[in-house]
Structure 1
Amino acid sequence: MKILAVSDLHGDIKPIITYLTDNKVDLIIIAGDITHFGPPELGEDLLNEISSFEIPVMVIPGNCDPRSIHTNIDNSRAINIHARNVVIKNIGICGFGGSNPTPFDTPLEFEEVQIYDEAKRAIEGIKDEKITLFITHAPPYNTKTDLLPSGVHVGSTSLRKIIEDVQPTLNICGHIHEASGTDKIGKTTIVNPGELSQGYACLIQIRDDSTREKIETEIIKL
């Protein structure tokens, strides 16, 4: 399976539309910030445009999306995996959108205790699958993927705790535009693709007979 993972669209989907016109993937994952503070109807329109390529799209909202966007995601052709899980073949996928609290009081922020309770419940439903993809907008705390240029780590402590305990195969996150890259927490690979509105994405290759060693990730410029 070939997966295109993106985050932080902020209302600009031109890079992904251009890429999908010339390239084939099996699944698209969007890790939040579909819009730049709305409107929620724009999120629905953008997701429908991406879904027009007849490729399954799984999505969570980001902290810069309005709280009401859940309804618009559910009304679109994409699949909302916020606090939900799905299984495709032997691949379990779950998600948690929004972010831990920020200094900016953005629309979709959650206290750490709520993140832990709801994200843990979602991942528990897929933890026994051979491959597990944990899709979060916020990155886990104290990794290369949550590091600001100032040297401060701003990720979620709850997401880190869940990853430490459950050890999903991959955590695909976003939120911190400057922290595009990969890291590891135990056996879990953490990937922050970077900002799609600047053309960044991640290609994930999963072989049919996948083990952890047969999963490849590559951050690309579309």
Structure 2
Amino acid sequence: MTRIIQLSDPHIVPEGTLCYGVVDTGKALQQAVATINRNLPLWGKVDMVIVTGDITDFGTAEEYARFRSIMADLALPVRVVPGNHDLRENMRTAFQDQDWMPESGGINWSAEFSDFGLICLDTLVEGHHHGELQPDALAFLSDTLKNLGSKPVVVGMHHPPFNTGIIPMDINNLRDSAELSKIIESHPAEVRLVCGHVHRSVTRSFGKAIGLIAPGTSHTVTIDQRVENPHTLSLEPGAFMMHEWRDDGIVSHIIAGNYSDERHPFTTPV
């Protein structure tokens, strides 16, 4: 059974500092890694961990080095795509020892497993918060889908191509998503679209695909849907997602980033 874990928006900052002055993002990521390690015996084999953008807060070499140091405790293959807080060339340098990292251009890559394919796309527009899919990313998606034939696929990226009602995020989501939808519609099998950016769990249809936004590993974007939304973060518990093949489709789970190992039977004490 194919199974992948999706982390998103860790926003790693230099050790000893807090993101936005309030969030210990490094500790939150460490807790998520520890949670995964503890629970692998319960879940079974995990084929890969993907991180859908905003690996760091400022895209510095120091932040990428700290991210890799934390993730080194996870004995699973890890791949990333950039978000709007990342810097593409600094990310490329930080992962230059990885064979999946492209030598130039957008950080687009794919992997094929027994039950479904995985395609991750670069939506970063450096200097801006919104996302775009460049022609090379759209061509990569189209070509890879053709190569996968009738195999189901998970498509991962940072910016969601749909609105959530949180206005400051919606104005900075993926722009010009019509071509993405057209390419996905052409695929003959199931497509699961997994994103980040909003730091909270959101589900919506996107054409034939089920679109999912993963929660962040630490803080969330406040679910404030007023027009005058001041755009704030909330210190809600971090979480991540697991996507797996079950029976004849892709099943997606939300898992708390840190929780007790206690297990209690569903019985009433006599």
TM-score of the superposed pair, with normalisation by structure 2: 0.66
For residues 109 and 150 of structure 1, the distance between their equivalents in structure 2, rounded to whole angstroms, comes to: 10
1:71 corresponding residue in structure 2: 92
Aligned residues: 207
For residues 169 and 157 of structure 2, the distance between their equivalents in structure 1, rounded to whole angstroms, comes to: 22
1:22 corresponding residue in structure 2: 38
Task: Provide closer, same or farther for how the CA distance between residues 151 and 67 of structure 1 changes in structure 2, counting only shifts above 3 A.
Answer: closer
Deviation by residue 1:131-156 (Cα, 9 ceiling, x = unmatched): 212111111033x3xx4256955421
For residues 131 and 96 of structure 1, the distance between their equivalents in structure 2, rounded to whole angstroms, comes to: 17
Mapped contact 1:194–1:200 kept (Cα < 8 A): yes
Structure 2 stretches lacking a partner, 5+ long = 13-25, 41-45, 220-237, 258-270
Query: Which of 198, 218, 227 is the matching residue for 1:176?
Result: 198
Instruction: Determine if the alignment matches structure 1 residue 131 to structure 2 residue 152.
Output: yes
1:221 corresponding residue in structure 2: 256
Report the residue type matching 1:35 in the other structure: T
For residues 45 and 151 of structure 1, the distance between their equivalents in structure 2, rounded to whole angstroms, comes to: 27
**Bigger helix share:** 1
Deviation by residue 1:162-184 (Cα, 9 ceiling, x = unmatched): 1343246111111123x531111
Q: Percent identity?
A: 22
Alignment of 1:104-183 (within 5 A): 105-106=127-128, 112=132, 115-128=133-146, 129=148, 130-142=151-163, 144=164, 147-149=165-167, 152-167=170-185, 169-177=191-199, 179-183=200-204
Report the residue type matching 1:57 in the other structure: V
The CA deviation at 1:63 is: 1.0
- Look up the SS of the partner of 2:193 in the other structure: strand
- Look up the SS of the partner of 2:154 in the other structure: strand
For residues 152 and 86 of structure 1, the distance between their equivalents in structure 2, rounded to whole angstroms, comes to: 29
The CA deviation at 1:48 is: 4.8
Mapped contact 2:130–2:171 kept (Cα < 8 A): no
The CA deviation at 1:109 is: 6.4
2:64 corresponding residue in structure 1: 43
Report the residue type matching 1:46 in the other structure: F
For residues 18 and 52 of structure 1, the distance between their equivalents in structure 2, rounded to whole angstroms, comes to: 8
Mapped contact 1:93–1:126 kept (Cα < 8 A): no
Which is higher, the Rg of structure 1 or of structure 2?
2
The CA deviation at 1:73 is: 4.0
Query: Which of 242, 247, 269 is the matching residue for 1:203?
Result: 242
2:265 corresponding residue in structure 1: none
Report the residue type matching 2:197 in the other structure: H
Structure 1 stretches lacking a partner, 5+ long = none
Instruction: Determine if the alignment matches structure 1 residue 59 to structure 2 residue 59.
Output: no
Moved over 6 A (4+): none
Task: Provide closer, same or farther for how the CA distance between residues 97 and 42 of structure 1 changes in structure 2, counting only shifts above 3 A.
Answer: same
Mapped contact 2:116–2:154 kept (Cα < 8 A): yes
For residues 76 and 181 of structure 1, the distance between their equivalents in structure 2, rounded to whole angstroms, comes to: 34
For residues 7 and 187 of structure 1, the distance between their equivalents in structure 2, rounded to whole angstroms, comes to: 24
Task: Provide closer, same or farther for how the CA distance between residues 153 and 21 of structure 1 changes in structure 2, counting only shifts above 3 A.
Answer: same
Root-mean-square deviation over aligned CA pairs: 2.8
Report the residue type matching 1:216 in the other structure: V
